[in-house]
Structure 1
Amino acid sequence: MKLANIMPATMTIAQAVAAITRSPELQAYVYRGPASCDGCPESVADLLESSPTKINVTYVGPDEDVDITAQTLCRADIYAHPGGGSKIALERASISCGANRWLGLDAAWKHMKRYSPVIRDFVNNGGRYLGFCLGAYLAGHDPGFNLLRPQDDADEETSQPGAQVDDEEDTVIQVDWTFSTGSKKGQTDHRRWLYFQDGANFKLSKKSSAQVLGRYSSNGDAAAILTTFGAGWVGLIGPHPEADQDWYDDADISNPDGIHFDIGHDFVEATVTAEQ
């Protein structure tokens, strides 16, 4: 069969070949560089690759084989930005997830500012942005990628009234999580423990169209949201549902519920399968 016979009239031969040969897996770019911490990108990659949707991960950043450009992002479905990490990561990389939020965010922004236009264009044209802790802060405003509506923003949970945690130490925090996908869709798990280090909450206006995926149990603040930006989707979370045993061991803390990734997988699935 000739290729021309199976091509739509508007499709070039190059486009047809790309459509035939493209992997059925979604392609995720996970940032790894100075605006993240040791081990954080790898934990996000593990979460993505173990999610129900088939996702292939490529690390991107200034010191990786693939940098963040308009050309490279054309090959991606998802851009994920991991946390800046714990106090241990702060000692190693001089970046923290919040730790004084503005110190950590400003330091990260110096490395990410040049990527802002292409990341915004990627999401605006239909890409998916996943932000974990520092990555969630970076989605906001002043400084940030401005992926949220002007009236919405990411803020520091530890400074909020009724917050369960009021310092920058690595710890665990409780969330109420309503599942959006899978066998637990529609079910809310109350007071689930997740790894936390100065993570974000999300200030939403009364007219906000953002969907709240999870709330901090102690005060009801939004701990994770899903919202649109242009033709794309933005999933943001303050705690670390991707944290594995090494995180807990390094910080010398434990999770009273044990370590589970169902909330992390639901967060990923909700973002990558959402439709406008």
Structure 2
Amino acid sequence: MTSNSHPADPRPIAVVYSDDTTGAGDDTAAVAAMLSAATGWDFEVITAGPNGTIPVPKALELPDVRLYAQPGAAGDDHAAYRRQKHDKSAIRSFVHAGGRYLGICMGGFLAEPCFFNLFRGQVDEYYSSPGATVGTPDPAVIPITWRGTTRQMYFQDGGYMVPKNRTSGVTVLASYSNGAIAALVAPYGHGKIGLCGPHPEAPPEWYREANLPYRGPTQDLGEDLIDTLMAP
């Protein structure tokens, strides 16, 4: 007897980098939770790196990996890159071949040409930019204009993006109050990168721990970023 049934397609895998620096685990867990909850994607989320279940290069060789996420991290961008420069070739090859890179906060800075070299442009500190609503890298809740609507988002020393050519396939999703780009999606090879300075994945406890007002979840903004990044 012949069956017409077919095995279910394997779930797409999202890899989240997990560092071993102080505080980095919170960022990894929050990004993993955002991806796990992303409507319509049914990601199988795994961690990779020093505190992950598998090295980054091995993780990106898995057949069903669709997305690699680089969350926030402690310290400065140069120190973060030194901890991970051995992963650069695997990350670049994965995205160039059609994969997706999601960089939030530190993950945005690491996409710069001097680091992973995925973004054609610069990522600079928002808090030191002209007209910024904050003047320190400390945690804050700041207004972000996302797709034309002002939302309050958790921010901690995130960057703003300056693409070399805004007309070259770049989709701007959000901006800071001074007009600087807070979130975008851009092409790289056959793949795409999504960069975001503030934290759409921030859970309520981040606000409580920093004595900041909690204005509700921003998971929907994270999902818009994911959907735009994952689109063909």
Aligned AA (1:139): A
Aligned AA (1:61): G
Counterpart residue number, 1:169: 138
Counterpart residue number, 1:254: 213
Root mean square deviation, CA, Å: 2.0
Does structure 1 residue 263 correspond to structure 2 residue 232?
no
1:74 shift after superposition: 2.4
Q: Deviations over 1:120-156 (max 9, x none)?
A: 00000010000010011111122x100012xx11111
Counterpart residue number, 1:41: 28
Aligned AA (1:157): Y
- What is the rounded CA distance, in whole Å, between the counterparts of 2:59 and 2:220 in structure 1? 30
Mapping of residues 46-65 of structure 1, within 5 Å: 46-52=33-39, 53-65=41-53
Does structure 1 residue 189 correspond to structure 2 residue 149?
yes
- What is the rounded CA distance, in whole Å, between the counterparts of 2:161 and 2:140 in structure 1? 20
- What is the rounded CA distance, in whole Å, between the counterparts of 1:159 and 1:50 in structure 2? 33
1:63 shift after superposition: 3.6
Does structure 1 residue 159 correspond to structure 2 residue 121?
no
8 Å Cα contact 1:34/1:111 also seen in 2 = no
Does structure 1 residue 243 correspond to structure 2 residue 202?
yes
Q: Deviations over 1:233-274 (max 9, x none)?
A: 10000000100011111111113x3233211111112112x2
1:34 shift after superposition: 3.0
1:50 shift after superposition: 0.6
8 Å Cα contact 1:169/1:198 also seen in 2 = yes
Q: Deviations over 1:160-207 (max 9, x none)?
A: 1111111111111111111xxxxxxxxx312x1100011010012345
The partner residue of 2:174 within 214, 225, 228 is: 214
The alignment covers a number of residue pairs equal to: 225
Counterpart residue number, 2:112: 140
Does structure 1 residue 107 correspond to structure 2 residue 94?
no
8 Å Cα contact 1:27/1:56 also seen in 2 = yes
1:214 shift after superposition: 0.4
- What is the rounded CA distance, in whole Å, between the counterparts of 1:206 and 1:73 in structure 2? 29
The partner residue of 1:118 within 52, 75, 90 is: 90
8 Å Cα contact 1:32/1:60 also seen in 2 = yes
- What is the rounded CA distance, in whole Å, between the counterparts of 1:56 and 1:168 in structure 2? 33
More helix by share: 1
- What is the rounded CA distance, in whole Å, between the counterparts of 2:26 and 2:42 in structure 1? 22
Q: Deviations over 1:15-41 (max 9, x none)?
A: xxxx95751x22100011136713111
1:208 shift after superposition: 4.6
The partner residue of 1:83 within 72, 76, 80 is: 72
Counterpart residue number, 2:17: 31
The partner residue of 1:127 within 92, 99, 110 is: 99
1:65 shift after superposition: 2.4
Aligned AA (2:116): F
Does the C-alpha gap of structure 1 residues 21 and 147 become closer, same or farther in structure 2, counting only changes over 3 Å? same
The partner residue of 1:200 within 147, 152, 159 is: 159
- Normalising by structure 1, report the TM-score: 0.76
For structure 2, list consecutive stretches of 5 or more residues without a partner in the other structure. none
Equivalent residue of 2:31, what SS?
A: helix
Moved over 3 A (4+): 19-22
Equivalent residue of 2:164, what SS?
A: coil
For structure 1, list consecutive stretches of 5 or more residues without a partner in the other structure. 3-18, 85-94, 97-103, 179-187
